[in-house]
Structure formats: C-alpha cells, structure tokens
C-alpha cells in the first residue's frame, strides 16, 4: 500500500463523508475548508466545473493537515487526472464510469472514487481498480438499491451514496449498506458563509458518528 493509499484509508476510516464544494472560488476556499476540517470532515472535493478549480486544489493541497485528503470532482478525462496530480490532489472523483479515467488514476497513484449506477458500471469500475464506488444519483433508486448492487460486487467494495442525500436520509441508506456519503448543496453552495457550512458539516458528522456507534 502506498503512502497516499494509507492516508486515504486513514481519512476514510475517520470520517467517510465527502464534502463537495461545487462552485467554490479560490478566494473563499480556505475559510470553507477550515470550517469543514474543524467540523470533522476529512475528505474534500472541488469539482472541475467550479471557477478556477485547480487553483483551489493547489491551495488546499499546500495547507491541508495530516489525515485530510483533497480531490477533484467531475473528472471526465485522463488529461483531467494529470492536471489534478500536478495540482497536488489525492482523489479522482467522477460522475460516470470511464475505464480510461480509472486507469489514468490508478497509473498516477491517485485514489479513484468512481461514479456508477448500474451493476455493469460498478463491475467495470471494480475490474479497473476502483474500490470506492460513488452510487450516483443514489436517491433516484432508493436506499434498498445498495443491497442489490452490492450483491454482485467484489468483497471489500465500498459504496458511497451521492445525490439527493441529506442528514435526514443518512440512517436509511446506512441501514442498507452505505459505507459513506457525499454531500453537495445540502452542505455547501456558492455564497454560503463558512460558519454556516461548518455548522451543517458538524450535523452530518455527528449523525454519522451516531449511526456508526449504533452499528458497532
């Protein structure tokens, strides 16, 4: 296991929630990031369709504390993977299942978090080296769908529920096997003050801790 893989495993084990900062600007990324980390978030994604996303990722990569991983979301091409690696990012988060992107992430030593919905997509992602699968959009098929798709996946696959999930939905998805979650506009949206983002993050972190304790 590489050092980055070990760091990701530590971050994931600590808090398997990805904060998605879609639309964030380099000017506001530092205070929002600090608020998230203070709340207990260890996985942060800046989607590539945000304003000047690589600058934001570079800033975060240069100042992140130990135990926190930074990634890019909406990664669509192998060239995007190369740019993320140059910016110092750790995670390649995709909305879809593209083997060329997964292969590029694996070859670059980055962590692929691959978007998929169908069993076919999930199995393709797994065969190309993805062990963390982003089930997206999870809310469209409901929490019980996680049980269905897990039945065909390799042992050890981890499923993150993304899309339309808020704090109130976490318990049901956890009951059906979600290993973690991604939060977008329910956590951050452009213009939301960092303090408010931090309070919302604290809510989902505390909810996860309660759910994890109940399942211990």
Q: What pLDDT was estimated at residue 1?
A: 86
**Longest Cα pair distance anywhere in the chain, in angstroms?**
44
Q: What pLDDT was estimated at residue 215?
A: 79
Q: How far is CA 32 from the centre of its chain?
A: 16
pLDDT per residue as tens, the chain (216 positions): 899 999 999 999 999 999 999 999 999 999 999 999 999 999 999 999 999 999 999 999 999 999 999 999 999 999 999 999 999 999 999 999 999 999 999 999 999 999 999 999 999 999 999 999 999 999 999 999 999 999 999 999 999 999 999 999 999 999 999 999 999 999 999 999 999 999 999 999 999 999 999 877
Place of tokens 């909305």: 95
Residues 94, 48, 100, CA angle at the centre, nearest 5°?
40
Q: 78-87 and 99-108 are packed helices; what angle lies between their axes, rounded to 10 degrees?
A: 30
Closest CA to 46 of 79, 80, 4, 12: 80
Q: What pLDDT was estimated at residue 89?
A: 97
CA atoms within 13 A on the CB side of 39: 28
Please state whether the predicted TM-score (pTM) of the whole model is above 0.85.
yes
User: Who contacts 83 (Cβ-Cβ below 8 Å, separation ≥6)?
Assistant: 54
Percent helix, strand and coil across the chain, each to the nearest 5: 50, 15, 35
Alpha helices in the chain (DSSP H): 3-14, 26-39, 53-63, 78-87, 99-108, 119-127, 145-150, 170-175, 194-214
Query: Which residues carry out catalysis?
Result: 45, 134
Q: What is the CATH number of domain 3-214?
A: 3.20.20.70
């Amino acid at each position: 296991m590489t050092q980055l893989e070990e760091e990701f495993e530590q971050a994931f084990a600590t808090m398997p929630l990805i904060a998605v900062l879609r639309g964030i600007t380099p000017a506001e990324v530092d205070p929002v990031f600090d608020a998230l980390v203070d709340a207990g978030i260890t996985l942060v994604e800046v989607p590539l369709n945000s304003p000047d996303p690589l600058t934001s990722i570079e800033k975060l990569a240069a100042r992140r504390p130990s135990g926190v991983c930074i990634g890019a979301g909406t990664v669509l091409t192998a060239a995007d993977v190369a740019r993320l690696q140059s910016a110092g990012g750790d995670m390649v988060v995709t909305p879809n299942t593209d083997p060329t992107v997964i292969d590029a992430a694996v070859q670059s030593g980055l962590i692929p978090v691959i978007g998929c919905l169908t069993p076919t997509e999930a199995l393709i992602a797994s065969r190309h080296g993805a062990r963390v699968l982003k089930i997206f959009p999870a809310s469209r098929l409901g929490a019980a769908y996680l049980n269905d798709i897990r039945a065909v996946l390799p042992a050890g696959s981890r499923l993150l529920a993304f899309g339309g999930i808020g704090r109130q939905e976490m318990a049901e998805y956890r009951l059906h096997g979600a290993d973690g979650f991604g939060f977008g506009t329910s956590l951050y949206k452009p213009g939301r003050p960092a303090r408010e983002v931090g309070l919302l993050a604290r809510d989902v972190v505390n909810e996860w801790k309660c759910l994890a304790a109940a399942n211990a």
